[in-house]
Amino acid sequence: MALTFRDGAIEGVIWYSLRRHEDMRGWLCELFRHDEIPPVCYPQMAYVSMTRPGVIRGPHEHRFQYDLFCFVGPSDFRVYLWDNRRSSPTYGVRQIVEAGESQPRAVIIPPGVVHAYRNIGSVPGWVFNAPNQLYAGWKRSQGVDEIRYENDPQSPFRIED
């Protein structure tokens, strides 16, 4: 007997609108948040951002948050990491890796590792992030766990081509 389908809503499926936040660099769209979905569905948070060709995001670091970035395209990125953790055996080490459409990669970045990325392709590129902390805390009611360096001319975290 062949299975037949009928149109209608499906129990347990939750649909909701996504909001895009745009600036000169591109856009960011949160995919899910703990404070917006039922507890049974809880990841901590995820978002996708679009970065225009040549644009750099970062460098910045977190005190408590781990980031899990996924670079899958479109476009390619150069990812910059600096170990800023004084207690780390690799304190003072810099790592630069290319990732994206040509070489899909994910990276988990622990607290204290400064990070940045640049779209090195010729088209806007998307980056997915699933951090272990909510941005600005529950209902966006707390401070943001970021130490930003991109506007500090004395910053040791330099993006070099």
What is the predicted pLDDT for the residue at 32? 61
* Contact indicator for 20, 27 with CB cutoff of 8 Å: yes
- Amino acid at residue number 97: V
DSSP character at residue 41: G
- For residues 75 and 101, give the distance between their C-alpha atoms in angstroms, rounded to a whole number: 5
Mean pLDDT of the residues in the chain: 81
Range of the domain at 104: 20-139
Q: Is residue 10 part of a domain?
A: no
Q: Is residue 80 part of a domain?
A: yes
Residue 20, phi then psi, degrees to nearest 5: -100, 135
Residue 39 has pLDDT above 80, yes or no: no
Cα dist from 100 to 16, 78, 116, 129, whole Å = 28, 9, 14, 13
What is the predicted pLDDT for the residue at 29? 60
Confidence band for 62, pLDDT divided at 50, 70 and 90: very high
Give tens-digit pLDDT for 10-19: 345 354 545 7
Q: Is residue 159 part of a domain?
A: no
Q: Is residue 13 part of a domain?
A: no
Q: Residue 129's domain is classified under what CATH number?
A: 2.60.120.10
Q: Is residue 84 part of a domain?
A: yes
Give tens-digit pLDDT for 76-129: 999 998 999 889 888 888 888 899 888 887 788 888 989 999 999 999 999 989
Q: Is residue 153 part of a domain?
A: no
CB atoms within 10 A of CB 115: 21
The number of folded domains in the chain is 1
